[in-house]
Structures are given as C-alpha cells and as structure tokens.
C-alpha cells in the first residue's frame, strides 16, 4: 500500500528521508506516515482432547483449516477480540487464558502481528459463520496431523498444549492503558 494523499489535509504526499528511512510525508502540514500495522488474534480451544478448527471459506487459503480468529478492532483488547471472533465464527463461547505465541510479518510498507491465545471452553453449539467459514469442528490430534492445517495454526496449537511458559493475561492487564514496558 502506498499512500497518495495526506489524510490530515488532502495535499499530495512526497517521499522524504526522516530518521534514516524513506517515509511518506506531507509538504503542506506536519503529517508523516510512520507505520501501517495490523493486529490479529486466533484462539486455541481444547475440549476433551480435541481442538476447535475452522475450514476457511475465503481467500487466502480457501479450503484450508486454521484456528478461529480475526482482526482486533481499535476499541477492543486482544482478549475481547479473540473471544468475539471465536464466538462469531464457530458459535462457541470461551474465556481467555493467555497468549501462547505469535506470528509476525514485517515489510517496508506494513507490519502484521497475530497473537495465538489459549481459551477455555465454556459451551455453545457449533455453528459456522457461513460468509467466512465452510465448516467448524473439534478435531482429534490425529486428525490435526492429517488435515491441511495452516502451519502457524499447527505451531500455536502445539504451544498451547504445552502449558509451560504460557504468558497469562493477568501479566498484561494494563498494556492498553499505559505505555509499553519491556
């Protein structure tokens, strides 16, 4: 994605070197396009030794299987987003437990972060959100090995099944209210 017009004043943007990097900037006002990020989250739900998966109904990877999930809305926390996405896509109600791992892609034009979250199964009836998902199922670990499951989903499921090292949400409570601490 290349920004053409200033989102602040509508003037045509130019490319300038700022802080040692080429960036889109506005010659008419102070706007600088610093970054373009996306934040997504997926949920790992285990019930009686089986993992909740969805079969994608849309490109990319249409027909492939993944853990349920989607993009985090601006006003939401990660844990709200992942519980909402799992409920919307599968009909299953859950409670967030913690973060098990992440997927990340970073390019000059964009940086994408996807957090895999462990969720506790609460209840509900399997019901696929047919606009996005072809099927929803709890699958055994044997089936997991046989189905065309996306590599990141597979890795996050394996991590979620090893509870050691799980980063509990309690440790991240204020991240969305305060500055980032390392």
Is there binding between residue 8 and Zn ion (CB under 5 A)? yes
Pick the closer one to Zn ion by CB: 33 or 56.
Answer: 33
Do the Cβ atoms of 114 and 102 come closer than 8 Å? yes
CA-to-CA separations, 86 to 125, 136, 171, in angstroms, rounded: 12, 10, 23
x-or-dash pattern for Zn ion, window 23-42, by CB under 5 A? ---x-xx-x-----------
Structure tokens at 90: 């599968």
CB of residue 4 vs Zn ion: minimum separation in angstroms?
Answer: 12
Pick the closer one to Zn ion by CB: 29 or 126.
Answer: 29
Q: What share of the chain is helix, strand, coil (3-state, %, to 5)?
A: 20, 40, 40
Among the residue ranges 19-27, 90-98, 99-107, 108-116, the one whose residues contact Zn ion (CB under 5 A) = 19-27
Task: Strands of 37-163 (E only): list them.
Answer: 37-47, 50-56, 65-66, 69-71, 92-106, 111-124, 133-139
Return the residue of 5, 9, 63, 109 that touches Zn ion, per CB under 5 A: 9
CB of residue 111 vs Zn ion: minimum separation in angstroms?
Answer: 23
CB of residue 86 vs Zn ion: minimum separation in angstroms?
Answer: 40
Q: Give CA–CA dist 51/149, Å, rounded.
A: 12
Q: Give CA–CA dist 127/146, Å, rounded.
A: 23
CB of residue 1 vs Zn ion: minimum separation in angstroms?
Answer: 18
Pick the closer one to Zn ion by CB: 12 or 95.
Answer: 12
Helix (H) or strand (E) holding 25: strand 21-25
Return the residue of 11, 12, 62, 95 that touches Zn ion, per CB under 5 A: 11
**Under rule CB under 5 A, which residues in 131-150 are in contact with Zn ion?**
none
CB of residue 30 vs Zn ion: minimum separation in angstroms?
Answer: 8
For residue 149, give every residue at least 6 positions away whose Cβ sits within 8 Å of its Cβ, in sequence order, or none.
Answer: 53, 64, 65, 66, 157
Binding interface with Zn ion (CB under 5 A): 6, 8-9, 11, 26, 28-29, 31
């Amino acid at each position: 994605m290349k920004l053409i017009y200033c989102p602040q004043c509508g003037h045509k943007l130019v490319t300038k070197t700022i802080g040692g990097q080429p960036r889109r900037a506005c010659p008419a006002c102070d706007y600088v396009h610093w970054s373009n990020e996306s934040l997504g989250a997926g949920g790992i739900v285990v019930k009686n030794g089986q993992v909740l998966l969805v079969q994608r109904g849309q490109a990319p990877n249409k027909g492939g299987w993944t853990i349920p999930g989607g993009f985090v809305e601006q006003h939401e926390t990660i844990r709200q987003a992942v519980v909402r996405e799992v409920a919307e896509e599968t009909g299953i109600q859950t409670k967030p437990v913690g973060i098990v791992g992440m997927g990340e892609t970073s390019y000059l034009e964009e940086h994408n972060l996807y957090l895999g979250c462990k969720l506790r199964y609460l209840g509900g009836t399997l019901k696929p959100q047919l606009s996005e998902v072809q099927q929803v199922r709890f699958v055994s670990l044997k089936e997991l090995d046989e189905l065309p499951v996306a590599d990141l989903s597979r890795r996050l499921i394996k991590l979620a099944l090893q509870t050691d090292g799980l980063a509990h949400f309690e440790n991240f409570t204020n991240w969305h209210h305060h500055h980032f601490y390392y």
